Amino acid sequence: MRFLLLALLVIPALEIGVFIWAGGIIGPWWVVGLILLTGVVGVTFAKQQGVHTWNRAMESLNYGQIPREEIIDGICIFVGGVFLFTPGFLTDIVGFILVLPVTRNPFKKWLKKFFENRIKNGTIIYRKW
C-alpha cells in the first residue's frame, strides 16, 4: 500500500519533469502532439493485441485446455493499455513494454519467476476478506 501511494506521488512528478525537459528541447506543441500520438497508437495496438489474445484463449478453450498464458497476456495488455492511455512518456514506455509481444514475453518470464519464488518462500499470504 505504501508503494502504491509513493508511486502515485512520484510518477506524476517525474512525468511533469520530463514534459518540461522535452518541451524545452522540441517545443511544447510537439510534446502535446507526441503525447496524443503515443496514446492513440498505443491504445490501438493494445486493442489489437487484446483481440488476438482473446481469440487464442477461445481456441484453447475449444480444445479443452485452460488458457493460462493467454490470461497472463491479457492482464499485461490491459495494464499496458491503461499506462498507454495515461498521458506521459514514462508511462508510455512501460505501456509499450507490456503490450508489445517482443518485450512482454521476457517480462512474463520474470513475473512467473517472481511469483514462483514468492510461493516457494511462503511470502504470498492468502487472506479471507
CA atoms within 13 A on the CB side of 87: 10
pTM score:
0.80
User: How would residue 45 be classed by pLDDT, with cut points 50, 70 and 90?
Assistant: very high
Q: What is the DSSP letter of 64?
A: T
Q: What is the DSSP letter of 122?
A: T
pLDDT, one tens digit per residue, over 79-88 is 999 999 888 9
Mean pLDDT of 26-30: 94
Contact between residue 104 and residue 69 where contact means Cβ atoms under 8 Å apart: no
Euclidean distance between CA atoms 98 and 31, whole angstroms: 23
pLDDT, one tens digit per residue, over 56-80 is 999 999 999 988 889 889 999 999 9
**Residue 126 burial by CB count (10 A; 0-12/13-18/19+): exposed, middle or buried?**
exposed
* Grid cell listed for 101: 509481444
* Grid cell listed for 50: 487484446
